[in-house]
Amino acid sequence: MTAHATQHDAMTMGSTSMVALLLIALLWLAYMAGTRRLHRQKPWPWWRTLLFTLGCMTLAAGFVPALMHAAHQDVRWHMVQHLLLGMFAPLGLVFAAPMTLLLRNLPTEGARGLVRFLGTWPVRVLTHPITAALLDIGGMYLLYMTPLYAHSLVTPWLSTFLHLHFVVSGTLFTWAIAGPDPAPHRPGWRMRMGVLFVAMAAHATLGKLLYAFNFPRGTGADPEELHQAAMWMYYWGDLAEATLVVALMLAWLRRRRRLSASGGGVG
């Protein structure tokens, strides 16, 4: 790589980082404004605000310039960045129920319009757990098993796109599987548990494949680094996914308790 290209990359990374941090700050401020406005009528759970704050902080940590540079040089730091952006930040953002907050803040007409928009078929296809899993896990297979990753290291716009993809697909998947926001068109519990299970197995398998066959290739990283990255992905990914299983089971428990309290349907 020429000195010029390196300098160019560093500049792109710096600006990506700045834009991302600014957007995250705006997002956080918008959420806080929403909770403040609502507080006059009905209190918003403090722990949802805390989750959103943690989600934004995790996201911001994934975009700090130092990590951006380290991730560019070393596949292990790239994996840390991937875990922060695509797996842990979405947990905070999604379980903070931002859509519920938005709907409560909008005037009735606006809220109806948003609900109508969410019910349109393109949105329904996009937010279906299967689509979300394909975009999220399928995207990772594509990134690490093909030359795409090596390519992204020398193509600044592709690198920016990938960071965005981590955040968007991770959030979409988390929301589609176990989001607390009302979603009238969301498939049932069994379907979501099934998709989550397959996605988890695919993720674990990818971790093992990366380790066994030294993926991603074409980066010049030595096998030790690749192995470490694969194992981090495997074990930390487990933790994020286990959280989703717990969220789904909590919903199951609440439903069964309602059923048994109303005196029927238990057996």
Partner 1 sequence: MAVSSPAAPDVRRTMIAAILLGIGFMAAIDEIIFHQVLAWHHFIDTGSSALALASDGLLHTMELVLFIVGAFMMIELHGRAAQAPGYRGPGFLLGMGGFQTFDGIVDHKILGLHQVRYVEHVWLYDIAWIGAGLIMLAIGWTLLKRARQGKAMSQH
- Which residues contact partner 1 (rule: CB under 8 A)? 197, 200-209, 211-212, 227, 230-231, 234, 238, 241-242, 245-246, 249-250, 252-253, 256-257, 260-261, 266
Least Å from the CB of residue 149 to partner 1: 19
Least Å from the CB of residue 232 to partner 1: 11
**% helix, strand, coil for the chain, step of 5:** 85, 0, 15
Least Å from the CB of residue 248 to partner 1: 9
Q: Which of 166, 192, 187 is nearest to 93 (CA)?
A: 166
Q: Which of 192, 203, 217 is nearest to 140 (CA)?
A: 203
Least Å from the CB of residue 198 to partner 1: 9
Long-range pairs of 193-196 with CB within 8 A, sequence gap ≥ 24: 193/245, 193/248, 195/129, 195/130, 195/133, 196/129, 196/133, 196/241, 196/244, 196/245, 196/248
The residue among 87 and 230 lying less far from partner 1, judged by its C-beta, is 230
Least Å from the CB of residue 209 to partner 1: 6
Residue 133 exposed, middle or buried by CB count within 10 Å (0-12, 13-18, 19+): buried
The residue among 7 and 260 lying less far from partner 1, judged by its C-beta, is 260
The residue among 44 and 215 lying less far from partner 1, judged by its C-beta, is 215
Report H helices in 87-145.
Answer: 89-95, 98-105, 108-119, 121-126, 129-133, 139-145
The residue among 29 and 201 lying less far from partner 1, judged by its C-beta, is 201
The residue among 120 and 205 lying less far from partner 1, judged by its C-beta, is 205
End-to-end CA distance of the chain: give it in Å, rounded.
66
Coil, helix or strand for 188? coil
Least Å from the CB of residue 76 to partner 1: 15
Yes or no: say if 149 and 221 are a contact pair by the CB < 8 Å rule. Answer: no
The residue among 106 and 191 lying less far from partner 1, judged by its C-beta, is 191
